[in-house]
Amino acid sequence: MHLPTYQEAKTMDKKNYEKKEFFLNPKLVHRYHGTYHLKTYGCQMNEHDSENIKAMLEELGFTQVDDYEKADVVLLNTCSIRENANNKAFGMLGRLKHLKDENKDIVVGLCGCMAQEEKVIHDILEKYQWINFVVGTHNLYQLPEIIAKVLESKEQQIEVFSREQDLVESLPVKRDNPYSAYVNIIYGCDKFCTYCIVPYTRGRQRSRAKEDILKEVHQLIKDGYQEVILLGQNVNAYGKDLNDNYDLATLLEEIAKTTIPRIRFVTSHPWDFTKEMIEVISKYDNICPSIHLPVQSGSNKVLKLMGRRYTKEQYIALFDELKKKKKNCAISTDIIVGFPNESDEEFQDTLDLVDYCQFDNAFTFIYSPRYGTPAAKMKDNISKEVKEARLQKLNEKVNQYFLKNNQALIGKTVDVLVMGKSEKKDGLFYGYTDTMKLINFKGENENIGKIVSVKVLDAKTWSLDGEIANG
């Protein structure tokens, strides 16, 4: 049993980890025959981890089922970014407890960011002894062995390391999307924004070796993928922990020179956005004109309290530079309202910034104190009503700009990576523009999985409508 501690999770010392290859004990390959259900919460990093989890479970011999009530193994890949993310997972655990009461052979496990929280593990040991296993983000590669141990010994297994372990390559992967693929480039985060739990749940930043990233990209190209999405909590820090002057600009350029039609990357912290990166992004057409650039607040005082290390003015300068240099660049953002001590005027600064930037997309959140973070020690002194009113006001404003930006595309022809038939709209297909806008359009089956030209006929707040462009 390994239990995580906050004390250890927040230490900054860099450890020298080795790289190792994933290895599955041959005795475990297809040893089991049951079914599994995996529920994923949280960010793209978790979605991609889930693609690894699915492949590991299938190597053990399990097959996926959509209905958790029909599964022999139910695994929750959790997120702890805000309190409601934790509540969702605990709600699901409540439902699983009923199932378990009826059939004690069901195996229930928990992994992801909540597994890294000392407080959550404490609760599990005290109140959720029926949960069969917990595995942390740093040792996810041990999942097959941990499940095997549970099945053989019937004893609860809690295996969570507080700090990052060796970088593991060659994890098996079962990708959800056959045209667009996630590729990890950096794990963890060293920014320690004062509100954020991620540095505690994902550890210090570690970059994958460029050879491993490029090998993966080349394989994806061979497999027919049209798009790679480079992943990291802060991709702009890529390479800072390697000693070879290789950074995100050089990595992006090398990937842009391959034949992959589309490259995206998330997420960029504005503080690490270099001139070289802007140059490379502007130079290559296969680097999508779509940048996610979380601002969090438009008030310098709040930004400082958040530990974001840039001012509103610096953010705007970067924003303007990207808009100027990268043709048709769409910029999206994340914003938190109701941070401790945020006054009406400071909230107004955020609204003013939104008026200036007119974002193409924005994810807006009410501040949620996370145990163990520095902000959680500040008094959470904005009332729920005020936080909700601010969120509503902000949402009205951002939505207005999504619609305006979308309407500006009416009559234009856009490149669309076609994902499939629309589930909601009969007879229509759907895909994403290079600027990451959802478009429903009249097309053909043969368009699926390709990048095609679509004429925009109409615009809504969240999507576009169109038809295949002639010629």
How many residues at the interface with ligand SAH, by CB under 6 A? 17
Select 150 or 303, whichever has its Cβ closest to ligand SAH.
303
State yes or no: residue 326 binds ligand SF4 (CB under 6 A). Answer: no
What CA–CA distances, in Å, run from 330 to 31, 323, 361, 390? 49, 8, 8, 25
Piece of the chain touching ligand SAH by CB under 6 A; list 61-69, 172-180, 315-323, 367-375: 367-375
Binding mask 264-303 for ligand SF4 (x = CB under 6 A): -----x----------------------------------
Binding mask 175-194 for ligand SF4 (x = CB under 6 A): --------------x-xxx-
CA distance 414 to 409: 8
State yes or no: residue 112 binds ligand SF4 (CB under 6 A). Answer: no
Task: Classify strands 438-442 and 464-468 as parallel, antiparallel or unpaired.
Answer: parallel
Helix H segments across 61-206? 83-102, 118-127, 143-153, 198-202
CB of 417 to ligand F3S, least distance (A): 24
Provide the 3-class DSSP secondary structure of residue 108.
strand
How many residues at the interface with ligand SF4, by CB under 6 A? 10
Task: Tell me how far the alpha carbon of residue 460 is from its chain's centroid.
Answer: 25
Piece of the chain touching ligand SAH by CB under 6 A; list 107-115, 191-199, 386-394, 450-458: 191-199
Binding at 201: pick from ligand F3S, ligand SF4, ligand SAH, none (beta carbon under 5-8 Å per type)? ligand F3S
Residues 6+ apart with CB under 8 A from 296: 193, 302, 303, 306, 308, 334, 335, 336
Binding mask 238-267 for ligand SAH (x = CB under 6 A): -----------------------------x
399 membership: H or E segment, kind and range: helix 384-407
Binding at 336: pick from ligand F3S, ligand SAH, ligand SF4, none (beta carbon under 5-8 Å per type)? ligand SAH
CB of 80 to ligand F3S, least distance (A): 5
CB of 296 to ligand SF4, least distance (A): 8
State yes or no: residue 195 binds ligand SAH (CB under 6 A). Answer: yes
CB of 444 to ligand SF4, least distance (A): 41
Kindly compute the dihedral angle of the four CA atoms of residues 447, 402, 404, 263, in this order, to the nearest 10 degrees.
-50
Piece of the chain touching ligand SAH by CB under 6 A; list 155-163, 171-179, 271-279, 366-374: 366-374
Select 43 or 167, whichever has its Cβ closest to ligand F3S.
43
Binding mask 216-235 for ligand SF4 (x = CB under 6 A): -----------------xx-
CA distance 322 to 326: 6
State yes or no: residue 81 binds ligand SAH (CB under 6 A). Answer: yes
CA distance 288 to 148: 43
Select 74 or 198, whichever has its Cβ closest to ligand SAH.
198
CB of 53 to ligand SF4, least distance (A): 21
Residues 6+ apart with CB under 8 A from 179: 224, 225, 226, 227, 417, 419, 449
State yes or no: residue 199 binds ligand SAH (CB under 6 A). Answer: no
Q: Strand ranges (DSSP E) for 322-367?
A: 330-337, 361-366
Q: Strand ranges (DSSP E) for 372-450?
A: 413-421, 429-433, 438-442
DSSP per residue, 167-215: EEE------S-SSEEEEE-EES-----TT--HHHHH-S-EEPPHHHHHH
CA distance 211 to 15: 21
Tokens read off for 124: 């599990």
For the chain, the residue count is 471
Q: Binding residue for ligand SAH (CB under 6 A) from 41, 238, 265, 365?
A: 365
CB of 115 to ligand F3S, least distance (A): 10
Name which of 280, 278, 276, 287 is nearest 319 in CA terms: 278
Q: Which residues here bind ligand SAH, judged by CB under 6 A?
A: 81-82, 195-196, 198, 233-234, 267, 269, 294, 296, 334, 336, 365, 367-368, 370
